[in-house]
Amino acid sequence: MTYTTTIQPVSSLPVELDPSRLPAHLAIIMDGNGRWAEQRKMPRTVGHAQGARTLKNILTCCDEWGISALTVYAFSTENWRRPLDEVNYLMSLFERMLAQELEAMHDRGVKLQFLGDLTGLPISVERAVRKAIELTQHNRGIAFNVAMNYGSRSEIVETCRILAARVQAGQLELGEIDEVTFGRELSDGLAPDLLIRTSGEMRLSNFLLWQLAYTELYFTDTLWVDFDRAALLKALLEYQGRQRRFGGLGGAV
C-alpha cells in the first residue's frame, strides 16, 4: 500500500517543516518504557501506561501534521518471553486503551489495521482488535497500523507458504512471483518512509525487515515516554535534510 502526504494548513504544522516533504508513512519502535519507570523506582507497568499516553499524543500529532500513516511496534512475538505479570498487564492495557479510545479515533476518521498473528492473542484482545478493524475499515483519515504478536521473519515465511500453495494449486505461475507480488502479500506492501526507534537501541528487532529496505532510519536516546511533539519535530527535520536516492545517484529528496 502506498501512502501520500496530506498537506495540512500552515497553522497546523510547525513553520520549520516543509509540508511537501513530510514522510507519508512513519514507523516507530516504541522502546524504553520499562527503563523509564525503573529510573524512577516505579514498577515497569507504570512506564507502559505512560507510554500508551505518549502513543495517543503522537498519533494525534501525526494526524494534525498531515502524515498519512503511522505504524507502531506494540508487541513482538519475542515479547512473550517477558515475565508473565508484565505480559498480562500489557494485554490488559492494550484492551483497555482500545476500548477507551476506539470511538474517538473512529470519529476522527482513523483507520485501524493490525499486523501479526491475531489468533495468538488472548480471546478478549482478539475480539477487541477485530471490532476495531470492522468499525474503522471504511475511514479515510490517518491509517494507524499496530503490530501485535508480530515478527517479520515469521511474516516472510508465511508469505512464502501462501505463494507456494497458490503455485501448487495452479492459481499462480512460479515466474509471476517477483518483488511486487511478494510485497503486496506481505502486510499489503507497507513501506515506511521513516523509522524512528527510541531509547538509544540501534537495531530493527525483527520489525518490517522486508518493508524497511529503503526506509530512512532515525535513532534517539529519548525514552518512549518522553518522546513528545518536540522530539518528533526534531526527527522530521533530520529526515527532511536527507536525500533519498533509492540506489541511484540523483533520486528525490
Per-residue pLDDT, 216:
97
Q: What angle do CA 150, 164, 158 make, to 5 degrees?
A: 10
CA distance 209 to 189: 12
| Helices 229-240 & 44-65 angle (0-180, nearest 10) | 50
CA distance 199 to 1: 29
CA distance 84 to 43: 14
- CA 30 vs. chain centroid, Å, equals 9
Reading the block at residue 197, the C-alpha cell is 526507534
Digit-by-digit pLDDT tens for the chain (253 residues) are 666 666 555 458 999 999 999 999 999 999 999 999 999 999 999 999 999 999 999 999 999 999 999 999 999 999 999 999 999 999 999 999 999 999 999 999 999 999 999 999 999 999 999 999 999 999 999 999 999 999 999 999 999 999 999 999 999 999 999 999 999 888 766 899 999 999 999 999 999 999 999 999 999 999 999 999 999 999 999 999 998 877 666 544 4
Write down the catalytic residue from 18, 31, 85, 88.
Answer: 31
Per-residue pLDDT, 253:
45
Per-residue pLDDT, 10:
46
CA distance 208 to 210: 6
Look at the pTM and tell me if it is higher than 0.75. yes
Instruction: Note the residue count of the chain.
Output: 253
Write down the catalytic residue from 18, 33, 79, 145.
Answer: 79
Q: Let me know if 228 is a catalytic residue.
A: no
Torsion of CA 45, 49, 50, 53, to 10 degrees: 160
Q: Let me know if 88 is a catalytic residue.
A: no
